[in-house]
Amino acid sequence: AGHSEPPPKLVLDLERLQSVPSEKAGPLARYAATIQSQRGDYNGKVLSIRSDDLRALAVIYDLPPQQLAEELISWGVLDPDARRAVAQNG
């Protein structure tokens, strides 16, 4: 009913990810590479991921999902708009 926005997507910037030190970016880089391989999607500069995947990554990084999202935003890997995607899903 009018004025509906689609929910924001979690879109990883793969080029920025390459410039993040591997001791921070390693687990995320491996996770993203696995998704690319499962999809056969190798040529993108960005990769859209499931919100469930952010929750899985939060377990890997031992952080609440929202705090992991803040980390990724601070690295420039995730758009600040993605905050709304995380907030919506708890």
Instruction: Tell me the number of residues near ligand C2E by CB under 6 A.
Output: 14
CB of 60 to ligand C2E, least distance (A): 13
- 35 contacts ligand C2E (rule: CB under 6 A): yes
The secondary structure element, H or E, covering residue 78 is none
- 37 contacts ligand C2E (rule: CB under 6 A): no
- 41 contacts ligand C2E (rule: CB under 6 A): yes
Residue number of the CB atom closest to ligand C2E: 44
CB 10 within 8 A of CB 82: yes
Site for ligand C2E, rule CB under 6 A: 9, 11, 35, 38-39, 41, 44, 46-51, 53
